[in-house]
Amino acid sequence: MFSKKSSIRKKLINIIILSCAFVIVFGISIITIGYIRYIKQDIINRTIMETKLIGEYCVTPLSFDYPERAKEVLEKLRFWPDIIAGIVFDNKGKIFAEYKIDGANTKILIDRNNKNIGTYHLFEDDKLHVCSNIFYKNMQYGSIYIILNTKITEKIDKFLVLISLLMFFLLILAYLVANNMQKFISKPILKLTNIAEEIYKKTKGDVEISYDDNDEISKLNMAFNLMVASLETREIEINMIIETANAPIFAIDRDGTIVKWNKKAEDITGYSKDEVIGKKSTMDIIEPDSYLLYNNIVDKAFSGNSDSNIEIFFITKSRNKIDILLNISPRKDIEGNIIGAIIMGQDITDRRRFQEELEHERESLAQRVQDRTNKLMTANAELSRAARLKDEFLANMSHELRTPLSSILGMTEVLNEQIYGQLNEKQLSFLKTIEDSGRHLLSLINDILDISKIEAGKLKVQISPVFIPSICEISLRFIKQIAAKKRIKVQSKLMNIEKTIGADEIRLKQILVNLLSNAVKFTQEGGNVGLEVYEDNENSVTQFTVWDTGIGIAKEDISKLFQPFIQLDTSLSRKYEGAGLGLALVSRLAKIQGGDVKVESTLGQGSKFTVSIPWNNLDDNKNNNPKEIIDEDTDDPLFSNKETGILILIVDDVKENLNTFSYYLKAKGYSIITAQSGTGGIKMAISEHPDLILMDIQMPEMDGLEAISRIRSYNELKSIPIIAITALAMPGDDKRCLDAGANMYISKPVKLKQLVIKISELLNRA
């Protein structure tokens, strides 16, 4: 072969043949090994990909326990004839759905219990076993097992035959290479180029490259065919995804003609594919008012821009209008040219209807709230009006009752002092009866007003230092005379308490006097009544206990004790007098001071009332002293009838009051001038310049407050002391009087002895 006699051409040919033979053998060996590995790996990769894809389709059936749907998915494996079996397992390892061709051996070789995310494969002769766990959002739903008949032995045998033939032809070809290299190389390349151009010009993957197993580029042609088949498979998969999507999806070309229309679009519009594909999308489907918006987003997509959440109205085949939320993107070919748009929608008709209903309900609720608010405001206004009318009624009643009482008690006091002559014992007894009855009526009026003030929240406690032994002694003094008449023994037990507490002294005395008076009233002659005081250091309260050995209270009647105007004995022949206000007032006066009242009683044996008063902080109330003048009896000596030279102006519209005050003050030596109206009082003050003015507050035409203010407007009258006298006795009366310019405030009925003392005090200050 390499003889020296051989020509160079022959040697070159031999060298070329040997070189080509070596290269061919070496290359074919490498190609054979690589091909075997390639074909195995290609089969594995494609099978794994198909296994995962099928597994994804099985997520929904597994999550909803719908094996029939999973079986429908597995039935699609018939399009892959090399797949002989497909099995879906649930998380418990049980077969959920299964597919296999007739006579197929479905022996399981791969362990399915591995919980890691991944795919596993194993070859058994020509069969490839693939197992993939089905995961979605890191949650495993099961696994899928695929068995594929690869026919790899058959393919390798064919390949080896081809290799043998190829080597034979290549050796011949190697000889011809030296003579016609260009022709040998260019012809197959040109053929391959022509075929590639033919495939490129096709719009669908329906072109198959013809090849001959004896042709050296046949494998390349086969690879081209496989690529085309893969593209067709991928297109089928994409179309399946679009078709089964739970959203309306359609595609248009550059002319706006519909080229794709999925099942969901059919369902919500009522138009089938045959009715819409090939037609303009705006003809019957888009609502006319939405044409402009729809064309704008389509133009944007044709310009290469996507858009989302665009609200468009569609018209269904049944001529109903539905609300669709659209997302649109450009549709491109393999070279990136825009050939149309792909549009995905979401039917939000129900959501929009719900939002409108919710908005309507919100507006309706707001209206109902407003109506209710208006009703409440009206009711509040009525309540305020009722409360105001109640206050006005109480004020008027206080005035109407106190005014005649003032005259009665004033006249009684004048007669009792025997200013106009001596009275006999019977006359004095009658006067005492009149005075006691008047005082009793005044006490009843005061109790009614106090309860009304408390319930209206207008009775304010005035906390001040109260020395316990002193308040107890004063309270006991009030009932000792009545107790002595009934031969009732009064006892007191203070437990060595020498303590000052913070409380309302007037209201505390009122509580104790009411309880002690009741104890005496309901105790038979010769009985016992007592007052005991204890300190509760643990709860920081002082307990005042009033007990008696009287008639007692039945258990079923105890709950009625503290209700106003309630008496346990309501018969016409009842033995004990009273209006039923005492205990009701005791309970309320205790509560407004932060205390309470407890009752223990046995019918026929007696009762025990315990009032607990907390130790209020005196520092917080050190300036909270009452301004109202307290009408107490005084033991001060009477003034003589000696002329004093003091001129007093009395202004009152009630003639009886004028007479009472005038007679008494004249008897005490004062000079008196009078006026029966506020206007008359001002004129009299200007003309006479009195040393002191007694001004009634409630008068017709001009009340006392205005009269006082006008008097104070004159410089020459500013220093004259003025005592305001009123029968209203309502909260704030004292402040209004003092603010108007009065120096002192006294409520009717007025004790004349005390009035003289107050007059003297003011004149001494002046």
Q: How is residue 92 written in tokens?
A: 């418990």
Domains 8-177 and 245-347 share a fold: yes
* C-beta of residue 734 within 8 angstroms of C-beta of residue 615: no
Averaged confidence pLDDT in the chain? 78
Name which residue leads in pLDDT, 365 or 193: 365
Task: Name the pLDDT band for 127 (thresholds 50, 70, 90).
Answer: confident
Query: Residue 92 and residue 69: Cα distance in Å, rounded?
Result: 19
Helix, strand, coil shares, percent, the chain, to 5 = 50, 20, 30
Backbone angles phi, psi at 568, to 5 degrees: -70, -30
The closest alpha carbon to 575, from 652, 522, 534, belongs to: 522
* Residue 208 pLDDT grade (very low, low, confident, very high; cuts 50, 70, 90): low
Mean pLDDT of 744-761: 85
CATH number corresponding to 245-347: 3.30.450.20
> Percentage of the chain surpassing pLDDT 70?
75
Q: What is the pLDDT of residue 30?
A: 85
The per-residue pLDDT for 443 is 64
Contacts of 152 (CB under 8 A, 6+ apart): 36, 39, 40, 43, 126
For the segment 587-599, the average pLDDT, to the nearest whole number, is 85
Alpha helices in 202-262 (DSSP H): 218-244
Q: Where is average pLDDT lowest: 8-17, 217-226, 455-464, 736-745?
A: 8-17
pLDDT of residue 194: 63
Name the burial class of residue 754, with classes exposed (0-12), middle (13-18) and buried (19+) by CB atoms within 10 angstroms of its CB: middle
pTM for the structure as a whole: 0.37
Tokens 């959501």 correspond to 351
Mean pLDDT for the stretch of residues 689-704: 90
pLDDT bucket at 283, cuts 50 / 70 / 90: low
- Interval 263-279 mean pLDDT: 86
What percent of the chain is modeled with pLDDT above 90?
Answer: 11
Backbone angles phi, psi at 205, to 5 degrees: -85, 55
pLDDT at position 280 is 80
61-77 mean pLDDT: 87
Superfamily of structural domain 8-177: PAS domain (3.30.450.20)
Q: Structure tokens of 236?
A: 């089928």
CA distance 141 to 316: 38
| Whether pLDDT at 689 is above 90 | yes
C-alpha angle 545-546-547 in degrees, rounded to nearest 5: 115
Considering only residues 293 and 406, tell me which one the structure prediction assigns the higher pLDDT.
293
Distance CA 312, CA 324 (A): 5
Q: In 10 A of CB 4, how many CB atoms?
A: 5
What tokens appear for 728 in the block? 């209203």
pLDDT: which is higher, 130 or 629: 130
Q: Say which residue, 413 or 736, is predicted with more confidence.
A: 736
Which of 623-630's residues contact partners 24+ apart within 8 Å by CB, and which partners? 624/462, 624/463, 624/464, 625/462, 625/464, 626/462, 626/464, 626/506, 627/734, 627/735, 627/738, 627/745, 628/734, 628/745, 628/747, 629/744, 629/745, 629/746, 629/747, 629/758, 630/506
* Average pLDDT over every residue of 7-28: 67
Domain 463-621 class?
A: alpha beta
Cis peptide before 637 (omega within 30 of 0): no
CATH class (in words) of the domain with range 184-237: mainly alpha
| Domain 647-765 class in CATH | alpha beta
Q: What is the DSSP string of 469-486?
A: HHHHHHHHHHHHHHHHHT
Domain limits, the chain: 8-177, 184-237, 245-347, 463-621, 647-765
Residue 53 has pLDDT above 70, yes or no: yes
763 pLDDT more than 70: yes
Burial bucket for residue 528 (CB in 10 Å: 0-12, 13-18, 19+):
middle
